[in-house]
Amino acid sequence: MNSTARQTQPRQRGGFTALLATMTCGAINDNLLRGALLLSVVDGGLWPDALGAGGTGWITVMLYLPFILLLGVTGQLADRFSKRTIIVWTRCIEVVLAVGVTAGFLWQDLWVVCGFFILLAAQSAFFSPAKYGSVPELVPDDQLSRANGLLSLMTNGAIIIGVAVAGYMLSIGPVILGLTMVGVAVISTVCSLFIPKSPPADPGLVVSARTFTAHLQVLKRMRGTPLLATTLAWCWFYAVGSLVITIVPLWRGPLGLSDSAAGLLLAAPGVGIGIGGLIAGFGSGPGIRPVYVPIGAAGMTVSFVLLGFTASTWWDVFILLGAMGVFAGLYLVPILAMLQHMPVPSFRARTIGTANFMTYLAMAASAVGFAVLAPIVGDDPKTWFLVCAGGMLLVFVESLLRRRVMADGAAAERFGTIGAQ
């Protein structure tokens, strides 16, 4: 498909706006519950020390495990069936699960809440390949960077709202948090109905329940292409970045923070990512600029070092987490745009599913590492931010080594060329 054809493909007006609204509501709910659980298992929370010193790490594992187990199938389903249909069904299911979360808070039962948290993560695993795979169906290829910049801004704005409000709602009553989730899920469902109907990308695809085999087949088709390097850059970043949300609640004790103050710290990276994503999205113009990737990695490394050595007040931590988020947004937007840009349409959702699988596998490994090591080496947040700095330095070096490969993947002529059989 030539450049002109790409840019003149018909798109139904309003479809991307409806998708943005749907995704934003989903992200608010995910982070309302995640933030509430992270704050509830540390000192001063609803269930302090219920999961031990590494409790925030185990909460993170609960979130990631369903993605690891399901993305191999859900990526196939999003290529086999209409992405819009999958999105609508997952929104309806979220309403039911949010009611279950509310019941768990009403009964003050950690394990009921955690059970529905895992189920919410499972429905998100069905939602994720469909939502990201829908973006190139709703906007022209030359607008992918801008679309992903807006997506980053809205998603991280939702994260800010979710984690910041979680602390406040816990302070006035956790049942209110659950009822809010029900309302947001209903709004998300309504918004999803305005996404234009779309035909399946590959209706003849035979869906395999052999999850890991499916991922291996996708990776085999990626091998030797810039798509594999992009996927690795995506997942290794998150292996380091996921530790941040696990570490931030640990500041609650040393700084003597309330639920609301700790929630605002959790929101700070989201503020930055939204700003950085918008800069990268609109700064890229009609193309994709992978030069932002090493810039973002370098900035995050410096931010982590400063958090490890100099942060001593709430404002220090908030500002540095926000700065780290800006650089994270610069890093993420071109990578996500390339993941959508390179695969042929019938291979796009599976590509995103496998990229997310690798991401969640890496994040789960880092979360388990934290949960296992925190009782041994301690849970001083400064120590763990220095660990993040070391990991991000490796990501920065790798991004420099892969800069030519990434530039190749971002080229206009690479649109829709990888994965054809």
Residues 346-404 pLDDT 10s: 787 788 778 878 888 888 888 788 878 888 877 788 888 998 999 899 989 988 988 88
**pLDDT (0 to 100) of residue 119:** 95
**Which of 65-69, 98-102, 165-169 is the most confident on average?**
98-102
Q: What is the phi/psi pair of residue 332, to 5°?
A: -80, -40
Strand partners, 418: 343
For the segment 19-46, the average pLDDT, to the nearest whole number, is: 83
Decide if 346 is inside a domain: yes
Domain of residue 34: give its range. Answer: 12-196+218-414
**pLDDT (0 to 100) of residue 103:** 95
Least confident of 43-57, 159-173, 248-262: 43-57
**pLDDT (0 to 100) of residue 327:** 94
**pLDDT (0 to 100) of residue 53:** 64
Decide if 294 is inside a domain: yes
- d(CA 222, CA 419) in angstroms, rounded, equals 7
Residue 173: pLDDT above 80?
A: yes
Three-class SS state of 418: strand
What length is written for the chain?
Answer: 421
Decide if 333 is inside a domain: yes
Give the predicted TM-score (pTM) of the model.
0.71
Residue 116: pLDDT above 90?
A: yes
Decide if 209 is inside a domain: no
Q: How far is residue 181 from each of residues 153, 175, 188, 246, 280, measured CA to CA in Å?
A: 21, 10, 10, 22, 31
**pLDDT (0 to 100) of residue 187:** 96
Q: By the 8 A CB rule, do 57 and 367 touch?
A: yes
Residue 11: pLDDT above 70?
A: no
Residue 157: pLDDT above 80?
A: no
**pLDDT (0 to 100) of residue 299:** 96
- d(CA 84, CA 72) in angstroms, rounded, equals 19
Domains in the chain, number: 1
Q: What is the H or E stretch that residue 227 is in?
A: helix 226-247
Residues 300-343 pLDDT 10s: 999 999 999 987 889 999 999 999 999 998 998 888 888 878 88
**pLDDT (0 to 100) of residue 1:** 38
Residue 102: pLDDT above 90?
A: yes
Decide if 63 is inside a domain: yes
- d(CA 75, CA 307) in angstroms, rounded, equals 37
Average pLDDT score over the chain: 83
- Check which CATH number belongs to the domain holding 407 and give it: 1.20.1250.20
Residues 194-230 pLDDT 10s: 999 888 888 888 787 777 787 888 888 888 888 888 8
Residue 4: pLDDT above 60?
A: no
Which amino acid, one-letter code, is at 356? N
Cite the DSSP H helix spans in 51-109.
Answer: 55-80, 83-107
Decide if 279 is inside a domain: yes
Decide if 361 is inside a domain: yes
Residue 144: pLDDT above 60?
A: yes
Decide if 30 is inside a domain: yes
Residues 236-291 pLDDT 10s: 888 887 788 778 878 877 888 776 787 778 778 878 887 888 888 888 777 788 88
Residue 47: pLDDT above 90?
A: no
Q: By the 8 A CB rule, do 288 and 332 touch?
A: no
